[in-house]
Amino acid sequence: MNKQTKQRFSKSRLRRNRQVFGFLIMVVTLVFFCVFVYRFCVISGGYVDAHNLRKSRLTQETRTSVLQAQRGSIVDANGNTIATASKTYSIYAVLQPLYSGDKEKLVKDKEKTATMLAKYLPMAKDKILVYLNPTSSKTKQVEFGSAGSGLSLAIKQQISRLKLPGIHFTSESSRLYEDNVFASHIIGQTTVEGSGTSAKIVGTMGLEKYFNKLLAGKNGHTSSQVDNYGYQLSTSKAKTVPAKNGGTVYTTLNSNLQNYLESLMSKVQSEYKPTEMTATLMNAKTGAIIAASQRPTFSLQTGDGVSDMWRNALVQDAYEPGSVMKIMTLSAAINSGHYNPNEYYQSGSIKVGGTTLYDWNRNGWGTIPLSQAFTRSSNVGMVKLEQEMGGATWHHYLKKFGFGQKTGVTLPDESSGTLSFSNATTQATTAYGQGIDVTVMQMLQAMSAVANNGVMLRPRIISKTVSANGTVTKYGKQTEGRIIKTSTAKAVRKAMVKVVQSSIGTGSAYKMNGVDVGVKTGTAQIAGSNGYLTGASNYIFSVAGMVPSKNPKYLLYITLKQPQNYTKAPEEMMAEIFKPLITRALALDAASDDAANATTDSTTTKMVSVTNKSTTTAQSTLSNAGYHVATVGTGNKVVQQLPVAGQTTLNGSRVILLTNGAMTMPDVSGWSKSDVLKLAQITGKKFKLKGSGYASAQSINAGALIPDTGGTITFTAQ
């Protein structure tokens, strides 16, 4: 092949190669184009790899904010607030700019800032300066520990008025309790679950727990479409599901008597140091719990002390009741026709099932009639009654009285106690309150049959609940049927009067001049790991009283366990609660009756509610109504008042207002003793009026802060 032919062949092959290569490029390009078109169609449809792009886009552009429901309130029998929704505040200081141009919000004068904050925070100036001068120069902001958290609105406002540069606050949902200690285990406790806008308050104890769903309400939310800068898109509308606030729980507690009971309990606790103590005042006609408390107790607001006693002793603690059970033993014996008061028996001891059972006075009182068994609190006499009845009859009555069963009171974690008839000995000992475990509520329920002429009442702590939408659920008087005859109930109450009035009775410490009182005392051994404990103080002492005994309105039951400072007889210790509380209850009844009888001459009126109103509005309202107004505290809002709303009062009487500010002393010049008692009740402090007549001098000047520490504040009268 010549040179010219080779050149033509080479050019022809080169041209063919170019055509093939060009074709391949065109095919590849076409394939990529087809893939692109397919992918574009898929994406246009809103899906990539099974992922919904439209939904994702909406999610990224949707902002949802929680609308927090306000927790409902718990109130007393007169509608006065016990627990309500609130906010607490935490303080922090900004030391370094959080971003450029933020220098105006920094702490400028640390010395001045520490000096001013020390006046309102429970922290010394030098400690505050430690926080304001952190070891790291890079620290931008600091908090002040527990001393700087949980601050009230009043404290926050007082600090804010100082306008201290660099001092700021955050707020948290919280619970505000009007009294620090007020039936604490009954009202209960809450905790905050979650944080930020998702935080919610949850009840963990007492009524706060039992009615948590009603009180909590339901959070709402707002959803809207926003752009990258957070602004709502003009093409969308916000969707709002409103929050449903919590409902209200109305208790049967009387704040006046409850606060008084708390002060009496604290005094006895401080003086005699029992390991545990309970006291409950019940309306014998309705079953309503008017006042109830226990020791140890805790602060509703701070929770201090709850670790010492987290159980609600009124419903959760099951214990052997001792001789107060003899009320039910005597009732069953009389009602079943097995009581012969003129029958004689040998006191001191009795042998049952191979075991010797003793009277508290082991020597006994010789041969005595059964009519003295209850008065002397003879265990042997009660065993004789149980034997006369027979085990089946006695067991039948124990079940009728509700032992071994929950009462159904609206408090969480109620115990049913235990009722065991395992042998003849335990069967016999139940007749005097040993070998049977009960709760305070069970005892109140059983004793109500005697107080209420044979018809047993279920104890109740709630009168009604009202949901946010207005639905009312009533918890009215609930009878558990007729347990004993009216004649039986009256006979047992007469026997209870003998316990107080007779020279052989065990309840002379409860005698009250001019008051018809019937009681039954009790002394129960405490079970240990190896039998019952020994020692003079290792008992649960108790008393149950019905006043007035002929037609009881009040049923008061007190238990006192293991007093460590055994300087008086246990009956005298408990009488320091029993007699003053009954006296106060009867006095309130008398005042209400007198006021009701005096309404015709227009000298009385119903006290208006000014609680939760501004201080100035409350003062103006009451002054215009003709009352003398005394204000305790520097706050701008009234958190408590005495007399309480709805109480019948004399025109021109004194009304004391407690505000949300620092507690300050009013001018008590010209005050009567009853006015001073009101001041003591509303502040929770110890006051003493020396002399007779009206107050003329006071140990703390008007306007001065009332100290938080103990001690008695005295007033001089002339």
Q: Choose among 79, 84, 287: nearest CA to 187.
A: 84
Q: How many CB atoms lie within 10 A of CB 53?
A: 14
User: Any idea which residue has 């109740």 for tokens?
Assistant: 460
d(CA 592, CA 659): 27
**The two structure tokens encoding residue 284:** 């014998």
Q: Choose among 437, 436, 455: nearest CA to 445.
A: 455
**The two structure tokens encoding residue 283:** 């309306």
β 455-457/479-482 pair status: antiparallel
Which amino acid does the sequence have at 318? A
**The two structure tokens encoding residue 22:** 């060009």
Which amino acid does the sequence have at 127? K
Question: Do residues 181 and 174 make contact, with C-beta atoms less than 8 angstroms apart?
Answer: no
d(CA 430, CA 624): 62
Q: Choose among 578, 582, 447: nearest CA to 515.
A: 582
Question: Do residues 345 and 367 make contact, with C-beta atoms less than 8 angstroms apart?
Answer: yes
What is the dihedral angle through the alpha carbons of 334, 340, 345, 348, rounded to the nearest 10 degrees? 20
Annotated active-site residue in 90, 323, 448, 609: 323
Find residue 345's DSSP bridge partners: 368
| Residue 668 φ/ψ, nearest 5 degrees | -100, 10
Residues 583-600 as b/e (b if ≥16 CB within 10 A, e otherwise) read ebbbeeeebeeebeeeee
How far CA 568 is from CA of 268, 272, 439, 536, 571, in Å, comes to 11, 9, 26, 12, 8
User: Any idea which residue has 């709402």 for tokens?
Assistant: 220
364: helix, strand or coil: coil
User: Any idea which residue has 């727990």 for tokens?
Assistant: 209
Active site residue 323: yes
d(CA 408, CA 505): 35
Per-state percent for the chain, helix, strand, coil, to nearest 5: 35, 25, 35
Q: Choose among 485, 552, 543, 486: nearest CA to 321.
A: 543
Q: How many CB atoms lie within 10 A of CB 360?
A: 13
- Residues with a catalytic annotation lie at 323
